[in-house]
């Protein structure tokens, strides 16, 4: 039976509410397979600079991003399409078929439709006929780590045997072209993982600890108020900046660095491990300077940090799983390695996980 334990990260204990699983006395949970998908269309900084007053030099220097991918607006690369491809790869790598999945958790804030959920659409697109439970979660850029933590809890409690978790985003549809500081950051993509019970006593793979947090008082740092029930899209605002997300970049930057490190330390503490024992840090890819500052705070050598922001930009809930899948495919991450996943996003949400891959 999963036990919930509450314990705030070191420097944010007063503001963060945290729900974490105790690592011991529960079945082990293994990442059975991963997959990722990026749309075909590459959009480099020069192309962006034709739309807004910016330059390749500024974007590269301030963010580390050189290019990103944009989904085709004509279809075939919507979040559930990307998720289908990434999930099929994850299932193949796990040696499983779609009907082996008994739960789908889909993290996104750019769903194909408002109804039904992406998770149920994905169920159909994968040809799953076992009527497994399927739900979407909205935790912005922390979405995949939230999904992983929920899957871990469901599997450790015996409620699921094999969960498909996905982070998939089509941010190109939501870009605020009125704001040159934010529109340069984001791209589209997807990462997926199949996680399941590890019954092999000789196999040490496990999700050792997960720590989730949220601080709703930071809402103003990044929000999109219109298009919901409070402020529906009307003819007057449809072509105005109000329709798009707003971001206080500088403020967000500072909180991101502090939070990514604090939540990581919290997950490490829960796992009873120290940074020097971790083989790979897989941070949310928001800005190369945030990644580097987080690595420094944690005391993690640069060569142990997985970075792909230069190629894909910030793909929100997809950054962590897609970067993890990329590093696994490249042979960097090997079975038995200790991974530290850490994410931060609008909300403000954050999450970290320590995994024996
Ligand atoms: O996934 C989580 C969500 N997002 C984040 O985590 C974003 C966190 N924040 C950041 O990554 C950075 O704050 C940004 C990349 C958004 C901005 O970088 P910055 O170094 O914090 O720039 P700034 O906002 O302090 O602006 C510095 C200058 C300003 O000009 P002045 O006022 O000094 O003349 C901006 O107008 O840079 C200007 N600027 C730009 N110039 C060229 C802002 N955006 C651009 C741009 N091109 N795209």
For 262: left if phi > 0, alpha if psi spans -120 to 50, otherwise beta; the answer is: alpha
Question: Active-site residue numbers?
Answer: 141, 284, 314
Q: Residue 144 C-alpha to ligand 1 middle, in angstroms? A: 26
Atom 19 in ligand 1: residue holding the nearest Cα? 250
pLDDT at 24: 54
| Cα 340 to Cα 210: distance, rounded to the nearest angstrom | 10
Q: What was the pLDDT predicted at 208?
A: 97
Question: Which residue's alpha carbon is nearest to atom 37 within ligand 1?
Answer: 181
- Give the tens place of pLDDT for each residue, 99-109: 999 999 999 99
Helical (H) or strand (E) element with 156: helix 143-156
In this structure, the strands spanning 28-37 and 188-198 are antiparallel
Q: Can you name the CATH fold of 29-198? A: Peroxisomal Thiolase; Chain A, domain 1 (3.40.47)
Beta strands in 26-84 (DSSP E): 28-37, 41-44, 67-70
CA of 287 to the centre of ligand 1 (A): 10
Concatenating the DSSP letter of every residue in 180-214 gives: HHHHTTB-EEEEEEEEEEE--TT---EEEEEEEEE
Average pLDDT across the chain, whole number: 93
Per residue in 137-181, pLDDT (tens digit) is 999 999 999 999 999 999 999 999 999 999 999 999 999 999 999
pLDDT on residue 25: 64
The pTM of the full predicted model, rounded to 2 decimals, is 0.93
Residue 337: other Cβ atoms inside 10 A: 16
Q: Which atom of ligand 1 sits closest to the CA of residue 247?
A: 4
* Cβ pair 353, 341 in contact under 8 A: yes
Each domain of the chain, given as residue ranges in start order, spans: 29-198, 204-356
Residue closest by Cα to atom 39 of ligand 1: 181
Both tokens of 171, joined, read 């941010």
**Each residue of 243-265: b (16+ CB within 10 Å) or e?**
bbbbbebeebbebbbbbbbbbbb
Is pLDDT of 15 > 60? no
Residue 295 confidence (pLDDT): 97
Distance CA 138, CA 69 (A): 22
Nearest residue (by CA) to ligand 1, atom 12, is 249
How many angstroms is it from 179 CA to the middle of ligand 1? Answer: 10
Closest atom, ligand 1, to C-alpha of 252: 8
- Residue nearest to ligand 1 atom 21, measured at CA: 250
Which of 249, 294, 315, 318 is the best mutation target for the ligand 1 pocket, counting ligand atoms within 8 Å of the beta carbon and taking the most? Answer: 249
Q: DSSP assignment, residue 170?
A: E
Lowest mean pLDDT among 52-61, 79-88, 235-244: 235-244
Between the CA of 296 and the centroid of ligand 1 the distance, in Å, is 21
Q: Which residues line ligand 1 (CB under 6 A)?
A: 54, 58, 62-63, 141, 180-181, 184, 222, 247, 249-250, 252-253, 256, 286-287, 314, 345
Residue 240 Cα to ligand 1 middle (Å): 21
Beta partners for 209?
354
End-to-end Cα separation, the chain, in angstroms: 23
Is the CATH number 1.10.390.10 carried by domain 204-356?
no
pLDDT digits (tens, 9 = 90+) for 196-224: 999 999 999 999 999 999 999 999 999 99
Top mutation candidate among 50, 54, 62 for ligand 1, by most atoms within 8 Å of CB: 62
- 204-356 shares the fold of 29-198: yes
């Amino acid at each position: 039976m999963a036990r919930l334990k509450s314990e705030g990260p070191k420097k944010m204990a007063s503001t963060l509410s945290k729900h974490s699983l105790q690592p011991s006395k529960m079945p082990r949970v293994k990442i059975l397979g991963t997959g990722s998908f990026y749309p075909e269309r590459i959009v480099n900084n020069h192309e962006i600079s034709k739309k807004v007053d910016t330059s390749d030099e500024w974007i590269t220097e301030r963010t580390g991003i050189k290019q990103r991918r944009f989904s085709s607006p004509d279809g075939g690369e919507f979040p559930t399409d990307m998720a289908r491809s990434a999930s099929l790869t994850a299932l193949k790598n796990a040696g499983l078929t779609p009907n082996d999945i008994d739960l789908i958790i889909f993290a996104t804030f750019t769903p194909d439709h408002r109804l039904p959920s992406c998770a149920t659409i994905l169920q159909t697109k994968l040809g799953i006929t076992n009527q497994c439970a399927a739900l979407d979660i909205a935790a912005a850029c922390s979405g995949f780590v939230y999904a992983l933590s929920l899957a871990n809890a469901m599997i450790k409690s015996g409620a699921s045997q094999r969960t498909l978790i996905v982070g998939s985003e089509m941010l190109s549809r939501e870009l605020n072209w009125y704001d040159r500081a934010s529109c340069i950051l984001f791209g589209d993509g997807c990462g997926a993982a199949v996680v399941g019970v590890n019954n092999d006593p000789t196999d040490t793979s496990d999700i050792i600890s997960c720590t989730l947090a949220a601080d709703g008082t930071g809402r103003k740092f990044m929000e999109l108020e219109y298009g919901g029930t409070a402020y529906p899209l009307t003819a007057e605002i449809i072509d105005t900046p109000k329709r798009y997300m707003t971001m206080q970049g500088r403020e967000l930057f500072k909180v991101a660095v502090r939070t990514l490190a604090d939540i990581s330390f919290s997950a490490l503490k829960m796992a009873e491990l120290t940074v020097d024992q971790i083989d790979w840090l897989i941070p949310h890819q928001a800005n190369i300077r945030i990644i580097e500052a987080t690595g420094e705070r944690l005391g993690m050598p640069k060569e142990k940090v997985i970075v792909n922001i230069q190629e894909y930009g910030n793909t929100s809930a997809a950054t962590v799983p897609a970067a993890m899948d990329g590093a696994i495919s490249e042979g960097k991450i090997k079975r038995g390695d200790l991974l530290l996943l850490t994410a931060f996003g609008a909300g403000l949400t954050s999450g970290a996980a320590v995994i024996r891959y």
